[in-house]
Structure 1
């Protein structure tokens, strides 16, 4: 049961007050304490003035003609009535003063509903109305939750903590993974403070805080048909069928990232779905031979058995660089090392993990960047920083953390010489390569 009274609860209170029921009876019907009902009525009742003609709270104000209540001797006698006096408060001097405020309203039920003298009483009246009470409480609740309730000194401390990390391209979720206890607030609160300009950070500084365009659900018939020989037996439908028969096999997604036109070099990426760990390789061009060279190099470094364990199933798109399927699936000696499957045309969402990870690459290498200046050392550094980012999907563990849980993955990291970056030193900005 919610601790907040609903509009229906308040309607029941209004109904039983009209029937002159005690708070204990109402509380039992709503499964609340009598004190909770008492506070609700007292805090949200509305007052209606009786026959008031001025700000003077005396009920006899209109008919009062009394003079000289103050008994002040003066050369000139006072010709004004005491109720109009601006020097003394006649209510404090007059023995016939009767307040508009009824004493009965200071006792339960705190309202005039059910009072036998309600219609002829000239004093202020108090009533409880469900809709008015609910609207007033909702406004109080909204005001209590709105605004910034952190001191300016504390905001400056948080700004000094967050600003350098955000400038490195770290997300708020990544920062909370290492500084959550130090911050002492929720991620939602930090985002709200950024929206309210409490820090020097702006939404444009947060790479993940964007609005995605709503996807269009295109019918399957509209998609372009591709009948390449390499796709025979390797379509996405074949992929789902194969994984249903072999659910324990790990899946690797594969794709390429290109730079500015004419820059030559291309990045080939391979992502392990179960850990979100992404390998990045620098290719001299976007050709089948360059992709085959990466497969042959990995097979040579890892050994055929380990390669089969790490890359049993690979899902990729229909790029021309991946069409040499026989050379990818088999070694020069004819031994099978993996199985290649292709996504449907214009359906990049079928390998969404790697597409989303490409966003991290683009933070370091924005579109239009020439890859001709990249070296293997630069790509190695990019790989380490990207895989050191915490992932909310895996309870704020980094891909490096997940890879260290299995021996075959550890061997892969050792073979390629990949090491995690300390969480506070992770940088996802172009400045990463400039300071190298």
Structure 2
């Protein structure tokens, strides 16, 4: 059985509107208006005639229509103003000659409904001759000229003076040499271009720096498969501490301040980094450990508590989410205060081999690796070095925090005292370094 399906040439369907198409649009709108101003034909009908998507036609008319306000009401004559007011039917001050119209606090200008929906313009409307409302018209020739100007102007290259560009080039290239992110550089120096434009200029070779000076584009690698391993934490100790239990807690307390905990290894058998990420403010703390054992993790947490005090410890580390590594098997040691045995931390565990469940912590490890590349030994570093890393990593402006630094957010939520005690400080934006040069 034959079907009456209209075939549309896909090649023609995807092309831009021509001047002939724009003239056709204007002609159809002009000659197909009812007496009340509404359209006799539908937008889909015009779409079928031109073989263009309806949204293309709608966006064209709305974007390139010309507003005209030739007959503005005399704002000193109340009757003229009331006729253009949305509230004229119910207003008790209507046409009150004792009130100066331009001072009326209830005035709200009325907009014709045909300008708020298809056809979006007044072309062909039978009421336009005596209508006092604001009008908009679609003229195909100026519309096409506007389109051609936009088309050529967008391909003109860098739209700024040579002096302005040299200044931007100096700021961005200098920041990239220090391994700062594009977002951090732009928002720390108020550079008047967007992130996308900066990357475009970088790819085209406009800057002194090149694409290899960026971290993520140059060095990002796909995730490799990992070998499955058995959980080393006894199941009976994890009752009520599974990831599902953590999600339930988070659902009941959406503003909960919690920390993601992990370790970062250097070489096997050497020193290890304990990583603690305060997710709410995106601040990540790094502490060096002599080995990757459960006892060392507990001792490190106890040291942190002794430095900042138990009350501050509970505020920041009152809830911790971690993985199933063997270094986190001393659940009681992590959860309870060694001095009085009171609960200091609620501890929860991700599913085995599901590092994405604490992805915020994992993502910031990438910043750590910019400074100490993967495979490098941590044996030559001490806590002072890690404090310097923590300060620089957390002084990086980020889109996820509306371009505030994690340290600035920490100051806002918890004050300066805690980070001062941990010897962590805010670094000036142009002094942030995320490369091995930091520790040399």
Q: TM-score range by the shorter chain?
A: 0.5 to 0.7
When the two structures are superposed, what TM-score results if normalisation uses the length of structure 1? 0.67
Match of 1:304 in 2: 310
Deviation, 1:392, is 1.0
Deviation, 1:188, is 2.0
Question: What SS class does the counterpart of residue 200 from structure 1 fall into?
Answer: coil
For structure 2, the residue ranges without an aligned partner over 5 or more in a row are 1-15, 32-65, 67-118, 126-134
Contact 1:252 1:314 in 2 (8 A): yes
When the two structures are superposed, what TM-score results if normalisation uses the length of structure 2? 0.66
Match of 2:83 in 1: none
Match of 1:388 in 2: 395
For residues 9 and 321 of structure 1, do their structure 2 counterparts lie closer, same or farther at Cα, with a shift above 3 Å needed?
farther
Deviation, 1:212, is 6.9
**Alignment of 1:167 onto 2:173:** no
CA distance in structure 1 between the partners assigned to 2:342 and 2:319 by the alignment? 15
Q: Whose radius of gyration is greater, 1 or 2?
A: 1
For residues 153 and 243 of structure 1, do their structure 2 counterparts lie closer, same or farther at Cα, with a shift above 3 Å needed?
closer
Match of 1:239 in 2: 246
Please say which of residues 144-153 and 194-203 is displaced more in the overlay. Answer: 144-153
Mapping for residues 214-233 of structure 1, pairs under 5 Å: 226=231, 228-229=234-235, 230-233=237-240
Match of 1:416 in 2: 422
**Alignment of 1:199 onto 2:303:** no
Match of 2:433 in 1: 427
**Alignment of 1:184 onto 2:287:** no
- Which of these residues, 314, 323, 327, is aligned with residue 321 of structure 1? 327
Mapping for residues 217-296 of structure 1, pairs under 5 Å: 226=231, 228-229=234-235, 230-262=237-269, 264-296=270-302
Q: In angstroms, what is the RMSD of aligned CA positions?
A: 3.6
Contact 1:27 1:37 in 2 (8 A): no
Contact 1:384 1:418 in 2 (8 A): yes
CA distance in structure 1 between the partners assigned to 2:330 and 2:220 by the alignment? 35
Contact 2:30 2:124 in 1 (8 A): no
CA distance in structure 2 between the partners assigned to 1:12 and 1:382 by the alignment? 60
For structure 1, the residue ranges without an aligned partner over 5 or more in a row are 1-5, 45-136, 217-221
For residues 15 and 378 of structure 1, do their structure 2 counterparts lie closer, same or farther at Cα, with a shift above 3 Å needed?
closer
Match of 1:372 in 2: 379
Question: What SS class does the counterpart of residue 209 from structure 1 fall into?
Answer: helix
Deviation, 1:15, is 6.6
Question: What SS class does the counterpart of residue 270 from structure 1 fall into?
Answer: strand
Contact 2:29 2:124 in 1 (8 A): no
Match of 2:357 in 1: 350
Contact 2:335 2:346 in 1 (8 A): yes
For residues 396 and 228 of structure 1, do their structure 2 counterparts lie closer, same or farther at Cα, with a shift above 3 Å needed?
same
For residues 14 and 244 of structure 1, do their structure 2 counterparts lie closer, same or farther at Cα, with a shift above 3 Å needed?
closer
For residues 331 and 144 of structure 1, do their structure 2 counterparts lie closer, same or farther at Cα, with a shift above 3 Å needed?
same
Contact 2:30 2:123 in 1 (8 A): no
Question: What SS class does the counterpart of residue 162 from structure 1 fall into?
Answer: helix
CA deviation map 1:53-96 (0-9, x unaligned): xxxxxxxxxxxxxxxxxxxxxxxxxxxxxxxxxxxxxxxxxxxx
